Amino acid sequence: MKSMKDHKYESLRLLSVQYNEMKKVLFSYGHKFTNDVQLIEDCIHDVFLKLCEKENLSTIRHMNVYLLRTFRNRLNDEMARKPSIADISEIPSDLLRVRSDEACLIETEEAIRIENAITQMMACLTKRQRQLIMLHYLEQRSYDEICHLLGISYQTVRNKMNQALKRIRDHMDCFSNI
């Protein structure tokens, strides 16, 4: 029979493996919400430190889903605490670069125009609808995965996604310059 010390050691070993597998996924996921690299890294570490304190990791059935959900919640909490003042460091560097070639300039203007249109479209959605759109279309997650990640029912995901797409279609006349 394993002692409590052996059980804890085994849990920490498994957690170490999980950390190495998931840190890039969590980091990439965090970039969907913020460009603050330090905040993302801190939240990843906080999640795993909290897991280290957990008595029995075997009670967690879907570890990857649990990690993504816990990380998202931690990141949301931290972002809510920070003032939402955008600074120039959060603007992608490729948008700040001056391009001399006319073709590159046209390409950049087109990309900015499309990005602005997408930003306007996303702004007409609720926070939850934006989250669903990002998970489904940008991260290419299935509705089932989204259910597990967000802790909501399949029908709720379908309803919210349909509402989001309907709202985008209803506001398409505002975005006719795409």
The count of other CB atoms within 10 Å of the CB of residue 15 is: 16
Q: Are residues 75 and 137 in the same domain?
A: no
Nearest CA-CA partner of 118 in 165, 33, 175, 173 = 175
DSSP-assigned letter for residue 134? I
Q: How many domains does the chain have?
A: 2
User: What digits encode the pLDDT tens for the residues 110-149?
Assistant: 778 777 777 788 888 899 998 898 888 888 889 999 999 8
Same-domain status, 107 and 144: yes
Inform me whether the pLDDT recorded for 73 exceeds 50: yes
Calpha distance 35→90 (Å, rounded): 6
Please list, in sequence order, all residues whose beta carbon lies within 8 angstroms of the beta carbon of residue 80, skipping any fewer than 6 positions away.
none
Note down the domain range covering 47.
4-81
In the predicted structure, residue 87 carries a pLDDT above the cut 90: no
Long-range pairs of 169-176 with CB within 8 A, sequence gap ≥ 24: 171/121, 171/124, 174/120, 174/124, 175/117, 175/120, 175/121
The pLDDT score that the predictor gives to residue 34 is 85
Query: Residue 174 and residue 178: Cα distance in Å, rounded?
Result: 10
Average the pLDDT over 16-31 and give the result. 80
d(CA 110, CA 89): 22
The amino acid sitting at 71 is F
102 and 60 share one domain: no
Report the pLDDT value the prediction gives residue 160, as an integer from 0 to 100.
93
CATH number of the domain encompassing residue 127 = 1.10.10.10
- As a three-state string, the secondary structure of 111-127 is HHHHHHHHHHHHHCCCH
Residue 40, CA atoms < 13 Å, CB-side half-sphere: 16
pLDDT for the residue 83: 61
Q: What is the pLDDT of residue 154?
A: 93
Of the residues 24, 59, 81, the one at which a domain ends: 81
Residue 78 token pair? 């931290």
What confidence tens digit (pLDDT) does each residue in 158-177 have? 999 999 988 888 877 655 55
* 60/158 Cα distance (integer angstroms): 26
Give pLDDT, residue 146.
92
pLDDT score for 99: 45
Residue 166: φ, ψ to 5°: -65, -45
Q: What is the pLDDT of residue 104?
A: 64
Q: Is residue 86 part of a domain?
A: no
Evaluate whether residue 89 is within a structural domain. Answer: no
| 47, part of any domain | yes
The more confidently predicted of residues 106 and 85 is: 106
* CA separation for the pair 141, 154 (Å, rounded): 13
Task: Summarize the confidence of residues 73-93 as an average pLDDT.
Answer: 69
Q: Which residue has the higher pLDDT, 43 or 108?
A: 43
